[in-house]
Chain A
Amino acid sequence: MSALIEFRDVCKYYVMGDTTVKAADHINLKIEKGEFVAIVGQSGSGKSTCMNIIGCLDVPTSGEYYLDGQNVGQMHKDQLAEIRNRMLGFIFQQYNLLPKLDLLENVEVPLMYAGVSRTERRQRATEALERVGLGDKLRHKPTELSGGQQQRVSIARALVGKPFVILADEPTGALDSRTGREVLAMLQQLHKEGNTIVLITHDNSIAAQAERIIRLEDGRVVYDGDAHAPEATVHPKEGGAV
């Protein structure tokens, strides 16, 4: 069986004036179904580019990206939108909830674009919110909630479409350490339930929550393996100096 996510020589170049920035330089990686992977790197290491490509928000300059066996690297924008809708669940650092909608409506948005009927939408969104412990706040606006609660709404929104992959981009970045731990615990729980989770972070201690770490530097993979092996937590400066 092929991997759920597979990068084959994925490159992403940005031309800035005279210089070409290699944000992704021949990245090869495979993520299997049910894994909990952290992609770690300092800013500028290419982890955001990597996450954008995995999330089908961007396409590689060259190389191939297979998601569940489909080559999504060269798909049309509308097809990518559909892939994002059906196969991916996003959790953002800034939560990215729609402030004018209440929690229920926020969680319903992906289902709405998937064409799910109103009653089913309502039911599934309610279930997802109950699962993250916000079943009593369905009609609240996001601004009435704390940061941790908002992030739980965004987790509910990521879950509701039953995606193949949950993509969490610095999910604890805007939270204090205690609520951050709660959110991470929730991701752990989702992983135990069989979800594939890709966590993007610059923070080694957060990356250590995953079972596997992929470390990026200057657009290249410098480590890929067990999260608890000693090499996994190498200080980035030392790793990059070789």
Chain B
Amino acid sequence: MNLLETFKLALRNIAASKMRTFLTMLGIIIGVMAVIVIVGLGNGMETYMRDSFASLGTNSLSVVIMGRGSTRSVSVDEMYEIVDENPDCLQYLSPSVTLSPSVHIGTKNYTATTKTGVSEDFFAMKGYEIAQGRGLQYMDIADRKNVCVVGNYVNQMYFANQAVGQTLRIGSLKLTIVGVMEQQADDMEEGGTDDCVYLPYSTAAQFARMGSITNYTVTVTSEEQAAEGKKVLTDALYGIFHDEDAYLVVSMAEMLDILTSVIGIVITVLAIIAGISLLVGGIGIMNIMLVSVTERTREIGIRKALGAKESVILRQFVLEAATTSALGGALGIILGYALCRVATVVVSALTDAALTVVPAPASVLMAVGISVGIGILFGYLPAKKAARLNPIDALRYE
């Protein structure tokens, strides 16, 4: 009796009691489905975060100067010096001055638009292209000119694609629009990446009556230099303040790594919990196989009397258990994929984040492996019991 015939026999026995087989498989189905969805969710979260961080720039460092009392601060020129002295790891610098008054265009008021004072290097740092007009230039900064560059959302929605040359106001500050950025996001929305106004940081700082600038963004020459760049900046700032609490340097790449590993841990824990249901499913299979062996004692006796060896009976029952759980695994995968799609829609609707739940091939493979493995593992004990039955007793069994 070859393996194919044994397999066909297993399929027949499974088909003979569909309801029971389905209920037996349920544990495996749910387990596999849960593992796939959870790992898929984790993947989605990680991808989403990577994308979000990529738009912030994983090659950038964020510097916040708290200062030490009012006695000592750091000037923009000093910051530029630090960057210039370390060309092998640090590349661009841009102060960042966020303004809070809302944007006025004509008689209308827009609160969602972000307004940031930056340097002429800011657009190169972010990889932003200018679609119309020009970007900010050194002279704009040096002369504290009242000019600005707007995002495409502002251009399209508030100026009907005719923004260059027009004016807008931030609070009482009147600015002339000199350029429009290339559209960044696929879908522009209010408050999004494209709903923005960038002006010279010097203009912004003066308007905000800010004595010294506290926020900077520094880019490193490459992502691998992020750690080195952070160290150089930290050392230089310590040299100025001699106080570790006076400044803060945050590497985006580092933050991404930390967040990724946190998500990884959370997903692993959830997947293990989901995996427990696989174990419970396996025990369910063992239970039903034990019942099946008892029910089929007479059949086993007949088969043994007719010449079935122990190994053949063992194989028959193990294969039956493995087939049951593999079938459960397959159903779990199908449902898992379906649920991933549902989860994508639900999560996107609930959180506004364009998060895609992607099933990981590795997790699918693992789920299949585990479900077949569980079938064999938990099918073995009942199968062994069946194979060991004494044919005389088995034949007499009523």
Task: Identify the A interface with B (CB < 8 A).
Answer: 52, 55, 57-58, 77-78, 81-82, 84-86, 90, 92, 96-98, 100, 109-110, 112-115, 157, 161
Contact = CB atoms under 8 A, between A and B. Distances in A.
B310 interface: yes
A205 B301 CA distance: 30
Contact of A77 (B12, B302, B306, B310): B310
Interface of B: 1-2, 5, 12-13, 16, 298-299, 301-312, 391-392, 395
B392 A157 contact: no
A102 to B, nearest CB: 12
Contact of B312 (A52, A96, A113): A113
B306 A113 contact: yes
Contacts of B304: 81, 84
A10 to B, nearest CB: 16
The 3 closest A-B pairs by CB, nearest first: A85-B307, A113-B307, A81-B309
Nearest to B307: A85
A130 B5 CA distance: 25
Contacts of A109: 302-303, 306
Contacts of B1: 112-113, 115
Given A52-B392, A84-B304, A161-B307, 10 more contacts: A57-B395, A58-B392, A78-B310, A82-B307, A82-B309, A90-B306, A96-B298, A97-B302, A113-B303, A113-B307
A100 B308 CA distance: 18
Nearest to A49: B392
B307 A57 contact: no
**Majority secondary structure, A binding face:** helix
Contacts of B310: 77-78, 81
A8 B391 CA distance: 24
A81 B306 CA distance: 8
A44 to B, nearest CB: 15
B135 to A, nearest CB: 79
Given A96-B298, A113-B1, A115-B1, A85 B306 contact: yes
Contacts of A78: 309-311
A81 B394 CA distance: 15
Contacts of A161: 307
A110 to B, nearest CB: 5
10 contacts: A81-B309, A81-B310, A82-B307, A84-B305, A84-B307, A86-B307, A96-B305, A112-B5, A113-B303, A113-B309
Nearest to B299: A98
Contacts of B306: 84-85, 90, 109-110, 113, 157
Contacts of A113: 1, 303, 306-309, 312
A170 to B, nearest CB: 13
Contact of B307 (A96, A100, A110): A110
A97 B391 CA distance: 15
Contacts of B5: 112
Nearest to B311: A78
Nearest to A52: B392
B36 to A, nearest CB: 35
Which of B1, B305, B308, B310: most chain A Cβ within 10 A? B305
B307 A81 contact: yes
A126 B183 CA distance: 79
A209 B71 CA distance: 124
B171 to A, nearest CB: 86
A116 to B, nearest CB: 10
